[in-house]
C-alpha cells in the first residue's frame, strides 16, 4: 500500500500536471510548484477524495508545503478514524 | 476652545495594542446605516462673529423629509399615469411609517388628470405623506384650484434672484416684485390656504438686499393670521450653487442662509425647507447640511430624479435620517427596494452602481473582496442590506472573482447561512469552469446568474438535489 506521502505526491502531480519524481516534501505548493489560487482549492478537494476525509477549509488551505500536507492529512485521518 | 492652526501641531501617538478587534460598533452598528455622531459644536463665522451650532439638536428637532417626485420629479420625464402615481404614493406612505418621516408630497393641479390623481391618492386614506399643491400663482384662479381641491397648503413661486426678478419675470424693480409676491400671499391667506413660498434661485440672490427683507415682510404678514396659515419658506437651490462647507460667502453658503433666515429674520426651523439640485454633485450633502444648520424639512425626489441633474434622493435622505437619529423610527426601509423595482418596471432607468438600489450597489466582483465577504459580510457590505433593503451582498462572477466569489454566489443562490454554507472546497469544479471561460475561451463579459444556475445544476448535482430538488 502506498504511503501518505506517495499518495499526496501523486495527487499533487495530477492536479498541477507535474512529474511526480520532481516533487519533494520541502516544496512549497505555490512558490515551488506554481499552484495558483484555484489549484490550491482543487488540491484540497482531491486530497479529501483520495483519503476519504473532510478537512477544515481554512486550516487545509493554510498548509503550504508537500511535507506539511502529509503531516496534516495524517493527523486528520487519525482524528477521523481512517487507516493510512 | 478655539485653537488657531500653528506651524507645528505635532504630538506623539502610541500603538494601542489588542488581540481582539475593535469594530467601532457604537458607530458601525451593522443593523443600521452607520450612525452620524458628533463630538463637538459646529462653528461658522457669520458677519465677523463666531457662531456655534449644536448638532445634538438634530436628535430632538422634528426633522422631516418632503417629496416632490410628482412635481419636480415629473418635470424631468414624460408624465406618469394616474395608476402609477397612486401606486408610488401608496409605497411612499408605506416607507414613511406612522411617524410621517416622509411628511408631505406635492401635486400639480392644472389638468383633470392632476386633480384625479390627487383625489385617488387621498382616497387611500393615508395620513402621510400629506398632500399639498404646487401652483405658479400668476393668477388668483390658481388659488381657486387649491381651494376646490381642499388642500391646506400650496407651494408658490417667489423667485428671488435678479436673474429671475428682472431677466425672467421682467419686473421693473425689486419693490414691484416684492409687492406682487406679497399680494399673492395675501390671496392665499384670504383663501384659507397656507402659502409655502418657494424662493427660487436663492443661492444666486442678493440675500441682504432682497431675500431677508422679503422674508421679514412675510413673517410680519404671518403674525396677522392663525399659526396654521403662517408662511413656510422653501429655499430653492435652483441651479445647485449651494455650498455646505464653512467659511463660504453668501449667497452660496447654506449655513449662512439658514442662520440668517432662522436666527436674524426669525423663521422657525419647522417652517424652513431646503430644495436642492445636483448640478455640481452636491445635492445630498447640501440637503443634510440644511438639516444640520436649522432647517427641518428636506425636499427630495425618489432616486433623485428631477429637473436636469435631479434633486436630493429621497431614499438617501431616509437612510441619513436613520443614521442621525440612531434608530429606524418605524421607517420601513425595505420599501425603498420595492419602489426601485417599481420604477424600473415603468421604464425609469436606475444605473447599476446607484447607491442603495442599483443592481450592483452591493455587488463585488473582486475575488479578494468576495473572500472578505465570505468570512464576514461586514467587511465589504455597508450595513445589513439584507435586513434593511432585502438586498444581500452579492458577487458578480468574472475572471477576478475566484473560488471565494463563486462560493459566495452558490451559498447565496441556495440561500444557505452559517454552518449550512458550503465550503469552497466542495465547489472547485464550478470555480474551475468559471476560470476556464476566461483563460481558455477568452471571455470578456461577466457570467450571468442564469448561466451559473445551469452550470451549478450540471457540476454540483448533489447540492442541486439537496437544495433545489
Q: Which of B345, B380, B414 is the last residue of a domain?
A: B345
Same domain, B376 and B455: yes
CATH assignment at residue B97: 3.20.20.70
Question: Cβ–Cβ of B424/A41 closer than 8 Å?
Answer: yes
Check: CB of residue A51 under 8 Å from CB of residue A80: no
Q: Which long-range contacts (CB under 8 A, 24 or more apart) does B164-169 make?
A: B164/B200, B164/B201, B165/B210
Q: Which of B316, B345, B374 is the last residue of a domain?
A: B345
Q: Report the number of distinct structural domains present in chain B.
A: 2
The per-residue DSSP string of B191-210 comes to TT-EEEEEETTGGGS-IIII
B389 within some domain: yes
Does 3.40.605.10 match the CATH number of domain A4-79? Answer: no
Same domain, B325 and B376: no
Spatial CA neighbour of A7 closest among A55, A66, A61: A66
Question: Cβ–Cβ of A38/B425 closer than 8 Å?
Answer: no
**Partner residue facing B428 (CB), from A42, A55, A60:** A42
Q: Which of B298, B319, B345 is the last residue of a domain?
A: B345
The predicted-structure confidence for B5-31, as pLDDT tens digits, reads as follows 777 888 999 999 999 999 999 999 999
The predicted-structure confidence for B133-148, as pLDDT tens digits, reads as follows 998 877 777 888 899 9
B7 within some domain: no
Q: What totals of helices (H) and strands (E) does chain B contain, helices first?
A: 16, 12
Min CA distance, A42 vs chain B (Å)?
6
> Hey, where are the domains in chain A?
4-79
Instruction: Give the chain B residue nearest A59 (alpha carbons).
Output: B425
Same domain, B86 and B233: yes
Question: Cβ–Cβ of B428/A45 closer than 8 Å?
Answer: yes
Min CA distance, B365 vs chain A (Å)?
16
Spatial CA neighbour of B160 closest among B285, B62, B250: B250
Q: Is A79 on the interface with B (CB under 8 A)?
A: no
Same domain, B154 and B300: yes
Min CA distance, B408 vs chain A (Å)?
14
| Mutation for A interface: B370, B404, B425, B426, most A CBs within 10 A | B425
Q: Would you tell me how many other CB atoms lie within 10 Å of the CB of residue B425?
A: 23
pLDDT, position B74: 86
| Rounded CA separation A67/B375 (Å) | 28
B11 within some domain: no
Please give the torsion angle defined by the CA atoms of residues B52, B56, B58 and B62, in that order, rounded to the nearest 10 degrees: -110
Helix/strand/coil percent split, chain B, to 5: 45, 15, 40
Same domain, B373 and B449: yes
3-state secondary structure A2-37: CCHHHHHHHHHHHHHCCCHHHCCCCCECCCCCCCCH
Ranges of residues in chain A with a pLDDT under 50 are none
**Secondary structure element (H or E) that encloses residue B64, with its range:** strand B64-67
| Rounded CA separation B362/B385 (Å) | 8
Same domain, B66 and B162: yes
Q: Would you tell me how many other CB atoms lie within 10 Å of the CB of residue B80?
A: 19
B35 within some domain: no
Same domain, B307 and B374: no
| Rounded CA separation B1/B46 (Å) | 18
Residue B165 to residues B175, B181, B230, Cα–Cα distance (Å)? 10, 11, 24
Mean residue pLDDT across chain B: 94
The predicted-structure confidence for B205-257, as pLDDT tens digits, reads as follows 999 999 999 999 999 999 999 999 999 999 999 999 999 999 999 999 999 99
Check: CB of residue A36 under 8 Å from CB of residue B431: no
Q: How confident is the model at residue B3 (pLDDT cuts 50, 70, 90)?
A: low
pLDDT, position B398: 87
For residue B53, give its domain range.
Answer: 44-345
Check: CB of residue B158 under 8 Å from CB of residue B196: no
Q: Is the pLDDT of residue B1 over 70?
A: no
Percent of all residues in chain B with a pLDDT value above 90, rounded to a whole number: 82
B37 within some domain: no
| Rounded CA separation B134/B82 (Å) | 17
Which residues on adjacent β-strands are paired with residue B198? B157, B234
Question: Cβ–Cβ of A57/B403 closer than 8 Å?
Answer: no
Which positions 15-74 of A are in contact with B (Cβ < 8 Å)? 37-38, 41-42, 44-45, 48, 55, 57, 60
Same domain, B332 and B440: no
Q: How confident is the model at residue B449 (pLDDT cuts 50, 70, 90)?
A: confident
Provide CB contacts within 8 A for B321, sequence distance 6+: B63, B65, B101, B329, B331
Amino acid at each position: 500500500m502506498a504511503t501518505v506521502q506517495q499518495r499526496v505526491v501523486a495527487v499533487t502531480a495530477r492536479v498541477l500536471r507535474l512529474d511526480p519524481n520532481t516533487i519533494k516534501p520541502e516544496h512549497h505548493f505555490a512558490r515551488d510548484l506554481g499552484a495558483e489560487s484555484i489549484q490550491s482549492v482543487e488540491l484540497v478537494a482531491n486530497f479529501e477524495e483520495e483519503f476519504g476525509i473532510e478537512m477544515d477549509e481554512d486550516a487545509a488551505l493554510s498548509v503550504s508545503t508537500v511535507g506539511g500536507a502529509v503531516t496534516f492529512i495524517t493527523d486528520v485521518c487519525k482524528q477521523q478514524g481512517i487507516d493510512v | 476652545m478655539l485653537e488657531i492652526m500653528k506651524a507645528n501641531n505635532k504630538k506623539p501617538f502610541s500603538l494601542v495594542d489588542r488581540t481582539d478587534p475593535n469594530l467601532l460598533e457604537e458607530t458601525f452598528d451593522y443593523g443600521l446605516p452607520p450612525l452620524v455622531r458628533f463630538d463637538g459644536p459646529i462653528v461658522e463665522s457669520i458677519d465677523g462673529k463666531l457662531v456655534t451650532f449644536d448638532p445634538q439638536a438634530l436628535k430632538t428637532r422634528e426633522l422631516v423629509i418632503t417629496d416632490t417626485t410628482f412635481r419636480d420629479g415629473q418635470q424631468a420625464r414624460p408624465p406618469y399615469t394616474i395608476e402609477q402615481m397612486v401606486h408610488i404614493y401608496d409605497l411612499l406612505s408605506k416607507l414613511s411609517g406612522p411617524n410621517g418621516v416622509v411628511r408631505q408630497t406635492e401635486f400639480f393641479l392644472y389638468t383633470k388628470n392632476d386633480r384625479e390623481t390627487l383625489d385617488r391618492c387621498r382616497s387611500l386614506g393615508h395620513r402621510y405623506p400629506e398632500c399639498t399643491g404646487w401652483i405658479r400663482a400668476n393668477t388668483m384662479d390658481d388659488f381657486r384650484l387649491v381651494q376646490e381641491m381642499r388642500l391646506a397648503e400650496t407651494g408658490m413661486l417667489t423667485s428671488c434672484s435678479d436673474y429671475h426678478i428682472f431677466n425672467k419675470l421682467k419686473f421693473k424693480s425689486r419693490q414691484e416684485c416684492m409687492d406682487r409676491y406679497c399680494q399673492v400671499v395675501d390671496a392665499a391667506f384670504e383663501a384659507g390656504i397656507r402659502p409655502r413660498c418657494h424662493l427660487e434661485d436663492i443661492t444666486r440672490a442678493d440675500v441682504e438686499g432682497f431675500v431677508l427683507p422679503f422674508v421679514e415682510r412675510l413673517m410680519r404678514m404671518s403674525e396677522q393670521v392663525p399659526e396654521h396659515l403662517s408662511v413656510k419658506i422653501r429655499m430653492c437651490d435652483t441651479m445647485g450653487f449651494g455650498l455646505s462647507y464653512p467659511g463660504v460667502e453668501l449667497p452660496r453658503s447654506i449655513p449662512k442662509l439658514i442662520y440668517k433666515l432662522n436666527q436674524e429674520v426669525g423663521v422657525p426651523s419647522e417652517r424652513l425647507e431646503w430644495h436642492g439640485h445636483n448640478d455640481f454633485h452636491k445635492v445630498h450633502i447640501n440637503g443634510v447640511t440644511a438639516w444640520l444648520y436649522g432647517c427641518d424639512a428636506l425636499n427630495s425626489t425618489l432616486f433623485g430624479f428631477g429637473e436636469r441633474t435631479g434633486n436630493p434622493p429621497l431614499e438617501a435622505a431616509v437612510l441619513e435620517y436613520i443614521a442621525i437619529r440612531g434608530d429606524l423610527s418605524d421607517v420601513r426601509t425595505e420599501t425603498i427596494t420595492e419602489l426601485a423595482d417599481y420604477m424600473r418596471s415603468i421604464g425609469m432607468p436606475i444605473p447599476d452602481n446607484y447607491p442603495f438600489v442599483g443592481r450592483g450597489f452591493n455587488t463585488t466582483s473582486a475575488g479578494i473582496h468576495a473572500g472578505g465577504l465570505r468570512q464576514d459580510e461586514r467587511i465589504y457590505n455597508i450595513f445589513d442590506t439584507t435586513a434593511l433593503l432585502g438586498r444581500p451582498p452579492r458577487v458578480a462572477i468574472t475572471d477576478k472573482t475566484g473560488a471565494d466569489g463563486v462560493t459566495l454566489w452558490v451559498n447565496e443562490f441556495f440561500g444557505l447561512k452559517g454552518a449550512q454554507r458550503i465550503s469552497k472546497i466542495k465547489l472547485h469544479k464550478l470555480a474551475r469552469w468559471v476560470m476556464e471561460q476566461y483563460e481558455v475561451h477568452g471571455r470578456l463579459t461577466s457570467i450571468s446568474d442564469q448561466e451559473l444556475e445551469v452550470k451549478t445544476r450540471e457540476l454540483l448535482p448533489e447540492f442541486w438535489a439537496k437544495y433545489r430538488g
